[in-house]
Amino acid sequence: MTNGMTLLDEVAMVSPHKISIKHVTHTYGVGDKAVHALGPVTLDIAEGEFTCLVGPSGCGKSTLLRAIAGLASPSDGQIDLRLPPTHRASVATVFQDYGIFPWKTVEGNVRFALGVLKLSKADARERTDLWLERLGLLDFRRAYPSQLSGGMRQRVAIARAMATEPDVLLMDEPFAALDAQMREMLQEVLLEVSGNSKRTVVFVTHSLEEAIILGDRVLVMSSRPGRIIDDVQVPFPRPRDTAVRQSARFGEIRGQLWDRLRAEVEQQVADQRRGRSS
Ligand SMILES: Nc1ncnc2c1ncn2[C@@H]1O[C@H](COP(=O)(O)OP(=O)(O)OP(=O)(O)O)[C@@H](O)[C@H]1O
Ligand SMILES: [Mg+2]
């Protein structure tokens, strides 16, 4: 570079955001069978921001997340992630169905994910132990997923994703299948581990409460095709814990989000009724 700028500096000037989504749409299938699932969505997510995505069932949340993850390409529009070029495991995903390898032990699953980072043996062992401990899995390190409860399997999936210390963490209803206590425990873990990192997180949930407890920002999507119809900043400082749900401000934000979401859900139900009667 003649002007002393690195390629990364130039990219940063073009897009100051960690994730930049422009006019993205997604349609599944073609012709009579085409389902316009998403968009258009235009959205910027800053580095280190914890963004929660809520919206009616089937509105395209998973479609958007998969597109950000690069697992599906949008039908139209553009998604840019500003990632350090040398960082090998810069995006990690956690989905509702765990996605861990059944033929590997708990420890083996975490170790496998660390493989791409080319750490020394000692560093890999240390990092694996750290994350197994943080997620309460040390005693189960030699167990196979089939020997674990759903909550534990999901903890393995989270340990595996977090151990790679990804730049961007994408989570699609990771706690949806868990009981209330396990869910709260994992919310605490996530608050703790995301509180003092610059990790950018996009987290899809059906729970408004969960979105407000975890997020710096909550985006509400419309019914299908999902568009962003509300964007609410969550004012609670970090470090934070799940006790924020007891504050009056929490109730106000929840009310505001619910009003917006209820209108969409009612619209969706009305559309479904009209569809059935026509
Ligand atoms: N592979 C596919 N082929 C055809 N249609 C699909 C496919 N995947 C999703 N859809 C449809 O696209 C729409 C959006 O799906 P998506 O899974 O993104 O929604 P969602 O908001 O994640 O829903 P949920 O809240 O139930 O998880 C839905 O109507 C769904 O039926
Ligand atoms: Mg989904």
78-106 pLDDT, tens digit each: 999 988 776 556 888 898 776 789 999 99
User: Residue 62 Cα, ligand 2 centroid: separation in angstroms?
Assistant: 4
pLDDT of residue 165: 86
pTM metric for this prediction:
0.89
**Exposed / middle / buried, residue 24 (Cβ in 10 Å: 0-12, 13-18, 19+):** buried
The pLDDT, as a whole number, for residue 196 is: 62
> What contacts 275, CB < 8 A, 6 or more positions away?
none
Task: Tell me the CA–centroid distance for residue 193 and ligand 1, in Å.
Answer: 30
Confidence of residue 9 (pLDDT cuts 50, 70, 90): low
| Protein residues placing their CB within 5 Å of the ion ligand 2 | 62
Collect all residues with Cβ–Cβ distance below 8 Å to 164 and sequence separation of at least 6: 89, 92, 113, 114, 116, 117
pLDDT of 1: 42
Q: What is the CA(139)–ligand 2 centre distance, in A?
A: 32
The structure tokens 């703790």 sit at 192
Spatial CA neighbour of 96 closest among 123, 51, 66: 66
Q: What is the mean pLDDT of the chain?
A: 88
**Ligand 1 pocket test, candidate residues 35, 66, 202, 221, most atoms within 8 A of CB:** 35
Residue 141 main-chain phi, psi, to 5 deg: -60, -30
Contact indicator for 129, 138 with CB cutoff of 8 Å: yes
Model confidence at 4, pLDDT cuts 50, 70, 90, reads: low
- Range name among 9-13, 125-129, 141-145, 169-173 with the lowest pLDDT average: 9-13
Looking at residue 272, its pLDDT comes to 80
**Mean pLDDT score, 252-276:** 87
Of all atoms in ligand 1, which is nearest to the CA of residue 64?
Answer: 18
The pLDDT score that the predictor gives to residue 214 is: 94
Q: 265: Cβ below 6 Å to ligand 1?
A: no
Q: What is the spatial distance between Cα 43 and Cα 191, in angstroms, rounded to a whole number? A: 24
> Which bin fits 218, alpha (ψ -120 to 50), beta or left (φ > 0)?
beta
pLDDT tens column, 138-189: 999 999 999 998 888 988 999 999 898 888 999 999 988 788 888 888 888 8
What's the whole-number mean pLDDT along residues 23-44?
A: 94
